[in-house]
Amino acid sequence: MKKYLAVIKTEWQRQMTYRINQFTFRIGNIFEILVQILIWTAIFQKTSNIGGYNYREMITYIIIGWLLSFLMANFGFEDIISNHIQKGELSNFLSKPIDYINYLIFLSIGRASFTIGVALLFNLLLLFFFRNSFIVSKDIFMWLILLAMILVGYFIKLFLSILIGFISFWTVDNAGVFYSINTLAKFLSGNYFPINILPAVFLNFSLALPFIYTFYFPAQLYLGKISIRQGLVGLGLEIVWLAILYFAIRVVWKMGLRKYESVGI
Choices 4-12, 144-152, 155-163, 207-215 (CB under 8 A): range interacting with another protein: 4-12
Percent helix, percent strand, percent coil in the chain, to nearest 5? 75, 0, 25
Judged by CB under 8 A, the residue of 45, 47, 48, 95 near another protein is 95
Judged by CB under 8 A, the residue of 17, 45, 47, 132 near another protein is 17
Q: What angle is formed at CA 179 by the lines to CA 177 and CA 182, rounded to 5 degrees?
A: 105
Say how far apart CA 242 and CA 251 lie, in whole Å. 14
For position 138 contacting another protein by CB under 8 A, the verdict is no
Judged by CB under 8 A, the residue of 10, 102, 180, 227 near another protein is 10
For position 13 contacting another protein by CB under 8 A, the verdict is yes
Choices 6-14, 41-49, 159-167, 170-178 (CB under 8 A): range interacting with another protein: 6-14
Answer left, alpha or beta for residue 252, where phi above 0 means left and psi between -120 and 50 means alpha. Answer: alpha
Nearest to another protein of 18, 128 (CB atom): 18
Choices 13-21, 106-114, 148-156, 232-240 (CB under 8 A): range interacting with another protein: 13-21
Nearest to another protein of 47, 95 (CB atom): 95
What 129-133 contacts at long range (C-beta under 8 Å, 24+ apart), as own/partner pairs, is 130/37, 130/59, 130/63, 133/55, 133/56, 133/59, 133/60
Closest distance to another protein from the beta carbon of 70 (Å) = 24
Sign of CA dihedral 21, 26, 32, 34: negative
Judged by CB under 8 A, the residue of 31, 51, 52, 92 near another protein is 92
Q: Where are the alpha helices (DSSP H) in 95-227?
A: 100-129, 140-165, 175-189, 200-207, 216-223
For position 265 contacting another protein by CB under 8 A, the verdict is yes
Nearest to another protein of 4, 122 (CB atom): 4
Residue 15 contacts residue 111 (beta carbons within 8 Å): yes
Q: What are phi and psi of 50, to 5 degrees?
A: -130, 120
Hey, how many other C-beta atoms are within 10 angstroms of the C-beta on 245?
19
Count the site residues for another protein by CB under 8 A. Answer: 26
Closest distance to another protein from the beta carbon of 179 (Å) = 20
Judged by CB under 8 A, the residue of 35, 38, 39, 94 near another protein is 94
Biggest alpha carbon–alpha carbon distance for the chain: 63
Choices 10-18, 33-41, 66-74, 228-236 (CB under 8 A): range interacting with another protein: 10-18
* Binding region for another protein (CB under 8 A): 2-3, 5-7, 10, 13-14, 17-18, 88-89, 91-92, 94-98, 257-258, 260-262, 264-265
